[in-house]
Amino acid sequence: MASPVTTPATSTPITNDKINEAANTPSFPPISNPTFSIKDLRAVIPPHCFERSYFISFLYLFADLVIISILFYFATFIDNVTNPFLRWALWVLYWIPTGCVATGVWVLAHECGHRAFSPSKLVNDTVGFIFHSALLVPYHAWRITHSRHHKNTSHMEKDEVFVPNLKEEAGELTAFGQSPIAILAKVLSMSLFGWPAYLFTNAQGRKFDQNANHFSPNSPLFSQKQRSLIVLSDIGVVISISILAALGYYYGFTNLLKFYFVPYLIVNFWLVSITELQHTDASIPHFKDGEWTWLKGALCTVDRDYGVLNIIFHHIGDTHVCHHLFPLIPHYHSEEATQAIRKVLGDSYRFDSTPFFKALYKTFQDCVYVQERENGVFWYQGPKEFVNEKPEKCKNS
């Protein structure tokens, strides 16, 4: 039985063994204001961690592109293999690594949106535009809404992604809806189709009175002065689709499916799943105005261990707390910066070592909707037997 802890807000012992079992490492979040400031955190980070290097950033990008090119080259021989089982196995060995490395390219383009790839705005926007467009992402449209996400993380009304449902929005929980088969179906649906759904309908994003579409210059997501950038983003995606259509026409759409589209789905899988796990956990609250502050919101994210994929994903998953606090730090300095700020963050830092697929499953099981427990503070809830309980403090690793 887990020992109870005391919350800063209520001084009431809390126990919840099932949620504690699911989230074995994140610490209890700051529902009251932290005792440190962003200046305190910045002061302990070595100054060189804020330096952005053209050479290093392009070296990482070049390495990713070389790996993808090598995988592509060897994949051109796969259909010459006569054994069908071996042929399928080889395609899987092409799809998964290519999708993972392409996710790394996505992350580098994401750094461009934060101006962390290089000191030059022009270089950042050029590289980000090219490679996000190649992955069918409207670069500037995403960059604008993603910036607002960083400014409003865990705000119930103003955050841009993974805004939780209230109980009345989630609907009634049923035994079937919480069954392993139903949860796995939800995980698969979100992982494969959640990204395009977000781009086209702002699914799981901030609520608007009209359709919020990342491709529409008139979308409520954007101001009038940003409309030309949205059109430019659309042009980039249209050019990429046109190139892909031409390649499919000349080389066969089956080949387009095998060489591009399946790795593209794997990129979408990692993108949505990693983001889900960064911002969805039984130990993470959301706030209304009055209780929310930027620093409390920025601390409401979880670092997770992806093993060797930490390197392939350029540390987007295992140093995400630092990224929300200091998005200008490039990924190749993020580990050092994370270790530095942990000394100041103390129990406000969250790291969860739960294996990836188990963690993803548990977020769907335990984080169905949020309810207000303290004034202006909302906590995730899951199955009916949990609705009167709050998450327990978890051990630091």
In tens digits, what is the pLDDT along the chain, a chain of 397 residues?
333 333 333 322 223 333 333 333 334 455 778 889 999 999 999 999 999 999 999 999 999 999 999 999 999 999 999 999 999 999 999 999 999 999 999 999 999 999 999 999 999 999 999 999 999 999 999 999 999 999 999 999 999 988 898 887 777 666 677 788 888 888 888 888 889 999 999 988 888 888 899 999 999 999 999 999 999 999 999 999 999 999 999 999 999 999 999 999 999 999 999 999 999 998 899 999 989 999 999 999 999 999 999 999 999 999 999 999 999 999 999 999 999 999 999 989 999 999 999 999 988 888 888 988 878 899 988 765 444 444 444 334 4
- How would you write 321-355 as a 3-class SS string? HHHHHCCCCCHHHHHHHHHHHHHHHHHHCCEECCC
pTM for the structure as a whole? 0.87
Between the CA of residue 61 and those of 101, 103, 236, 314, what are the distances in Å? 10, 11, 19, 10
351 bridge partner residues: 303
Ramachandran region of residue 317, left (φ > 0), alpha (ψ -120 to 50) or beta? alpha
166 bridge partner residues: 370
CB-hemisphere CA count at 13 Å for 67? 19
Indicate the Cα dihedral angle 97, 98, 99, 103, nearest 10°.
Answer: 100
How high is the pLDDT of residue 285? 92
How far apart CA 182 and CA 366 sit, in angstroms, is 14
Residues in the chain: 397
How high is the pLDDT of residue 30? 55
* Residue whose tokens read 């799809």: 95
How far apart CA 64 and CA 66 sit, in angstroms, is 5
How open is the CA angle 92-97-103, to the nearest 5 degrees? 125
Strands 377-381 and 286-287: antiparallel
